[in-house]
Amino acid sequence: MSAPRWKRLALGLRAALAALLAAGAAWLVVDLADWRYARLDLSKSGKNTLDPALLDVIDQLPEPVVVDVFLRPLKMPYQAVSVAAGERVLEYLAVLQQARRSQVEIRLHDASDFEAIQERQRELGTEGTNKLVLSCGARRDELELFGELCTVDWGNPSRDGVQYLTREGIPGVVDPRRWQPERGFRPATLLEFRGEELLAQALLKVSSGEAPKVYFARGHGEPSLEGADGTDLARLSAALQRDGFTVEEWDALKQPAVPADCAVLALIGPEQPYQAGTHAAIRAYSEAGGRLVVAPDLSELDEERAGGVLDLLRGFGIDTRPGIVCLPLVGPSGEPLEQSEQCAWLVIDERGLQAGHPLTEPLRLRGRRVQFTFTPAFEGLPGEWGPIVPIVTTGVDAWRDLPPRNDFTFNPARGEERGRQTLVTARALRSVKDDGGAVRQGRVLAVASAYFFSNQLIDVNRDFALNAFNWLAEREYRLAVRPLAKSETFLDFERSSARPILTYLLWLVLPGLCAGIGLVVFLRRRS
């Protein structure tokens, strides 16, 4: 009888030891996964995967950021949509914390613990619910759940419902022109989650110190910073402010010298020449270590106006060449096509973005592009400055369509030559010491066309534009591609091999495939 007992005891010990080993292995796997932050997104939409560009932003934060979460479900009949919105935010924050625990701390506040919430909100200097508060030291930024993080269609609420939602501080509940309470109640629905883009902007905002100031020169026919026209700069101004800049205007007629707190001076699209005093003020600013972004208006080149930004650039060894840069299109069978205005619409992909440069390398890694329209090109002037740095260039089949007759056709008889054209370049100026002994080196970034920054093209060029201003302001940690960028997605149908491929597919392959299938069916029926 003793043998069976010892056998049972040995089996029990083996089972216990196996259980202990399994528990230890499980603990080790969990610990390793926690150490490596290993995650696998199996959702169909990929909603639990962070944009790599957001991770770039987080990795470059100079300090950790605390995110306080104050959520409280709404009452019926809006409880379902508020819970859905809150769950989407919490899911995203959980993924964010798992991805970068050392850089981001998430603090969830229980809606039932009213006293603790009040105490924390007093510390943060805020009030209310259904919001995120991001803090980094003394810097704060807030994101509202409704209207910012989540876009909600509030349906067709009753009058009591509108009053309740308004008391909750929810903006834009109804459109008075479309609200028809007599038609009955229609429930609210969650339309869009914009947390990734807004959170990236908020992280950048709270992680930086005092907002650097960008001054735009005014008084010489420059595009408006508030206008809605396609050539204006309102959307650029808004993007800079969201990225942590303060945007101001500098009118040299009212303030002769460039303001002392100017981090970047923008000379974009003046249609009138500068006065001699303005030229002198800009030169003095640049020679003292100032930073300039310069983009001429095409009319200045066409009219050969003296005293504008073109003369200013020549003083830095950057010459703007006459003519509009063109690239041939691709015909249905792959042949190059010209004689079209579309030749002057340039889409520059990673092949035209200089590898390794801080302005363009993030765009190259993410496969982004920039766009130019009716733009001249730059060339370096001989002398002390040396050759220019080609930051953005065209392909080798480009040419400058020379005035006075722009026919968008390559014509060697008129002196037109094919070759790579430089559209963006930069100069490093002389280094100087400030009063505190710190060394500061001036920089000039030249963009061949003011239209590059316009309302019409800023969605495409936003990432490059923001990187340019951050680079000039010495905020290198912000040089990245923004998550969920609104930049257009291109299939360069006019200049890639896609057009002849699609042509052959539609005209030859598809009909031939149909004929082949018909022949097979015919032969099978005959047999």
DSSP 479: -
pLDDT at res. 337: 84
Identity at 324, one-letter amino acid code: I
Q: Rounded to the nearest 5 degrees, what angle is found at the Cα of 71, between the Cα atoms of 67 and 74?
A: 160
CA dist 286 and 308 (Å) reads 16
CA dist 172 and 192 (Å) reads 15
In three-state secondary structure terms, 341 is helix
pLDDT at res. 44: 44
Cβ(245)–Cβ(211) under 8 Å?
yes
Closest listed residue to residue 481, CA positions, set 370, 333, 395, 391:
370
Helix locations, 168-256, DSSP H: 195-207, 234-242
pLDDT at res. 190: 85
**Whole-prediction pTM value?**
0.64
Cβ(140)–Cβ(125) under 8 Å?
yes
Give 3-state DSSP helix, strand, coil % of the chain, rounded to 5: 40, 20, 40
Cβ(282)–Cβ(254) under 8 Å?
no
Check residue 130 and give left, alpha or beta (phi > 0: left; psi -120 to 50: alpha). left
Give the domains, in start order, of the chain with CATH numbers.
Answer: 52-204 (3.40.30), 211-491 (3.40.50)
Question: Hunting for tokens 């759940």 — which residue is that?
Answer: 145
In order along its 527 residues, the chain shows pLDDT tens digits of 456 667 777 777 777 777 777 777 766 665 555 444 444 444 444 455 666 767 776 776 767 888 899 988 988 888 888 899 888 888 888 888 877 777 788 899 888 888 888 888 888 888 888 888 888 776 777 888 888 888 888 777 777 877 888 888 776 666 555 666 666 677 888 888 887 777 877 777 776 666 789 999 998 999 999 988 889 999 999 888 877 788 999 998 889 899 999 999 999 999 999 988 999 999 999 988 899 999 999 999 888 888 889 999 999 999 999 899 999 987 776 777 888 888 999 999 889 999 888 889 888 877 788 999 999 999 988 877 777 889 999 999 999 998 877 788 999 988 899 999 999 999 888 777 766 667 778 899 999 999 999 999 998 898 899 889 989 988 776 666 555 444 444 445 555 566 666 666 666 777 878 888 888 887 887 77
